[in-house]
Structure 1
Amino acid sequence: MALSPDELAAVVARDIPDGSYVNLGIGQPTKVADHLSADAGIVLHTENGMLHMGPAATGDEVDPDLTNAGKVPVTELPGASYFHHADSFLMMRGGHLDVCVLGAFQVSVAGDLANWSTGAEGAIPAVGGAMDLAIGARDVYVMMTLFDKKGRPKLVPECTLPLTGLGCVSRVYTDLAVIDVGATGAVVRETFGTTVAELSERLGLPLSEGASL
């Protein structure tokens, strides 16, 4: 059975190495914060200028001045610090992040990323800090559905939408499978309610099967 966004976020959180400095992109990736172990030593960075960001805020915890980059109210953890937007981007571009988790419209089997524009006429582009994160983080994970609302694959041989970065994605987390991408092609690490053969047929892509995570 396909995973829900919250179930998928828990899978992503499970795989982030302890002690990592991590940026979570706008949208579904922010759910990962709610599933991180308190004793894992993972430090969350948000591009609007905060380290040691905690899970989403609820009820009396909500402070309209304390949000992530997607303007969602969040909590702060012990040791939280705040800094200028420019300093935040220096951290992103300077290779100080171990992992970033981004959404995407398309990812190629070579690890190319398209996540800032659908290419549709009149669509509002949303570059944000994705280009900086894509080239600055040591590992780029993408969290997305494997197929769009029209049933079209989002893991593709080559991206047809405007690119964010080339060869930058190392792993794709989807509702149906976890797939490593890069120079050696697409390697399925884990499936949810389906098989590698079924996914290969639906995607129209050659998929190899790797060791489980």
Structure 2
Amino acid sequence: MAWTREQMAARAAKELRDGFYVNLGIGIPTLVSNFIPAGMRVQLQSENGMLGMGPFPFEGEEDPDLINAGKQTITELPTTSYFSSADSFGMIRGGHIDLSILGAMQVAQNGDLANWMIPGKMVKGMGGAMDLVAGVKRVVVVMEHTAKDDPKLLKACNLPLTGQGVVDLVITDLGVFTIDKKGGTGMTLIELADGVTAEEIKAKTDADFKVALGSKQSNAA
């Protein structure tokens, strides 16, 4: 067994804190907005100039003028504000966003992130990811553990990097990893998805990592 996309998003929502300003990337991270705990005040920010996004609209209630940076229809709140994308990136680059939850193609054991381009394939652009990983206070990645059975957690990324040493936490469909970017202890498996074992994760992971599940801690190089 493994976590579904919704379960991964729900786990990522546990990283939210009251009063946080948060940027959600496209893909699985957008689902996090549906799992914000009741009563928690979280302001969702979008690169295209919106602060205070609500949950996704129900079918038939979409407003085509209300979209996030991934061009998905969203809802507004009584506290929502709108501004230029230049001001939005000013918030990001100025360190005013507490947390960014992003998708990824690859993450390295030292926190390097590749999430915007595969050589030889046409891309529309890098979006705001490079600014986000450089400017926000904490970066959480939510992604599938493998791509067509190829590991996405690697000793070193082989795709063009979005940022070096920027990822703090990785949530996959198999488990949760912390990354100590400054202390030099690397990647640590701290949580398993339902029905998943550490041995299964080791078999599907190229990166070296430690295991710290409760009181248990060991190396899985």
TM-score exceeds 0.5: yes
Once residues 175 and 122 of structure 1 are traced to their aligned partners in structure 2, the CA distance between those partners, rounded to angstroms, is: 26
- The alpha-carbon deviation at position 60 of structure 1 amounts to 4.4
Question: How far apart in 2 are the matches of 1:143 and 1:125?
Answer: 22
Larger CA deviation: 38-47 vs 87-96: 38-47
In 2, the alpha carbon distance for the partners of 1:202 and 1:45 equals 34
Shift of 1:186: 1.1
**Structure 2 unaligned residues grouped into runs of 5+:** 215-221
Percent identical residues: 46
Structure 2 residue 187 is matched with structure 1 residue 189: no
More moved, 161-170 vs 121-130? 121-130
CA offsets 1:146-174 (integer angstroms, 9 cap, x no match): 100x2000000001000000000000110
User: 1:43, 1:143 → 2: CA distance?
Assistant: 19
Shift of 1:23: 0.1
1:172 touches 1:178 (CA, 8 Å); kept in 2? yes
Residue 187 of structure 1 aligns with an amino acid whose one-letter code is: T
Q: Quote how far apart the aligned CAs of 1:126 are.
A: 3.3
| Structure 1 gap segments, 5+ residues each | none
The two structures have a TM-score, normalised by structure 1, of 0.94
RMSD over aligned CA atoms reads: 1.4
- Tell me the equivalent position of 1:135: 134
2:149 alignment counterpart: 151
Runs of 4+ residues over 4 Å off in structure 1:
none
Partners of 2:169 and 2:154 in 1: CA distance: 14
**Which residue, 164, 167, 170 being the options, matches 1:169?**
167
Q: 8 Å contact 1:116–1:125 — kept in the other structure?
A: no
Please, which moves more after superposition, 59-68 or 107-116? 59-68
- Which residue is 1:203 aligned to? 205
Tell me the secondary structure at the aligned position of residue 55 of structure 1.
Answer: coil
